[in-house]
Amino acid sequence: MDLYEYQARDLFEKHGVPVLAGIVAETPAEVRAAAEKLGGVTVVKAQVKTGGRGKAGGVKVAKTPADAEEAAKAILGLDIKGHIVKKVMVAAGADIKEEYYFSVLLDRANRSYLSLASYEGGMEIEVLAEERPEALARIEVDPVAGIDLAKATEIATAAKFPAEIIEKVAPVIVKLYGVFAAEDATLVEVNPLVLTGAGDIVALDGKVTLDENAGFRHPEHEALEDKDAADPLEAKAKAHDLNYVKLDGEVGIIGNGAGLVMSTLDVVAYAGERHGGVKPANFLDIGGGASAEVMAAGLDVILGDPQVKSVFVNVFGGITACDAVADGIVKALEILGDSATKPLVVRLDGNRVDEGHAILRGARHPLVTLAETMDDGADKAAALAHTA
């Protein structure tokens, strides 16, 4: 779960990371009041879960409360990479002397943690990594040992921080890792981490991603979820414990296993090139269970997307045999009744596939078409979506 900047700031403050004062506001009047309360120069920052805010006009410096109010009028409602700004954070201005970069993240490929740090912060880290890779230190972090003061010093030294700055920045790195570990995060990033004119190290920005798989350990994290901003179909899928991601296409996809579903997306996209350019409408992994209830929930979510014109069910029978999957599809269509109106192409393979085909043929449901192969199923589903 990605957090807004103000939520990351609050977590930083909770764990002792030095931050500046900040107030969240949703109207220009609230922004003016916040600026008056903070006093002095303030920064009005769009709260969206994407990068590039500054370039899009989502960050403005205000010298007076009136300036802050005008900045809010320009920022609220702004579309930043498809994210509409509904709230801003009014932050106290900082006397910035130098800007740095630090992050710690889950390195899935190496089954470890990875720390990235640079003495040159403030710019997009992707640009720095491409243009001046030598300026970005990459240090592996042992998940058991974590980051203590000695490790933080190693990281800062590798990032070419001067000795006098290392003494200041290393303790802050330790505290940032404390956020990462204590909150079960997969990413904690600060860009920029700044040195102020007073000689203090301050986290001026923050990006945090929490591991939802660890949610049972953090019931307080539920309050951080922005349910209003969530896609309603994704919210419905989550309520049924379905792994669903909405895409911009016309062919609904249901499969079991992330690898199979990803492959299905590819073959549907390829088939769509022959049928008017139709594309996959979603990623939906029903996992190992394909009961009638699970299948009905999956179909209900997909059919709730008005862009969907056809559905491709692609299942490989393993522990859950194909006859059980077929029975689930038939019962799911019975459960959905008249709300099921889009054609379904079903491809089954694996354990008890013949019995599964027999069940579907015997049901004689007018919406169901059988496919022998994944390519055949993708082609039929794309054709149905194109002609709908």
Helix/strand/coil for 320: coil
Residue 39 CB contacts under 8 Å (≥ 6 apart), including other chains: none
Helix/strand/coil for 51: coil
* Contact (CB, 8 A) for 206 and 172: no
318 is in an annotated binding site: yes
* Contact (CB, 8 A) for 169 and 161: yes
- Judge if the upstream peptide bond of residue 65 is cis by omega within 30 degrees of 0: no
189 is catalytic: yes
Using CA atoms of 212, 216, 217, 223 in order, give the dihedral in degrees to the nearest 10.
70
Cα–Cα distance, 192 to 189 (Å, whole number):
9
Catalytic residue among 4, 100, 101, 119: 101
376 is in an annotated binding site: no
320 is in an annotated binding site: yes
Cα–Cα distance, 13 to 19 (Å, whole number):
6
Residue 157 CB contacts under 8 Å (≥ 6 apart), including other chains: 166
100 is catalytic: no
Write out the two tokens for 195: 């040195």
Cα–Cα distance, 58 to 81 (Å, whole number):
11
Write out the two tokens for 219: 């019931």
Cα–Cα distance, 310 to 308 (Å, whole number):
6
132 is in an annotated binding site: no
Cα–Cα distance, 138 to 114 (Å, whole number):
7
329 is in an annotated binding site: no
Residue with tokens 């220009």: 28
Closest CA to 8 of 267, 193, 251: 193
Which class for 140: exposed (0-12), middle (13-18), buried (19 or more C-beta within 10 A)?
A: exposed
Catalytic residue among 98, 154, 189, 250: 189
* Contact (CB, 8 A) for 114 and 107: yes
Cα–Cα distance, 17 to 1 (Å, whole number):
21
158 is in an annotated binding site: no
* Contact (CB, 8 A) for 44 and 88: yes
168 is in an annotated binding site: no
Residue with tokens 């980051």: 147
The CA radius of gyration of the chain, in Å to the nearest whole number, is: 26
Binding residues for ATP: 45, 52-54, 94, 99
Binding residues for substrate: 256, 318-320
Binding residues: 45, 52-54, 94, 99, 191, 205, 256, 318-320
Q: Which residues are catalytic?
A: 101, 189
Binding residues for Mg(2+): 191, 205
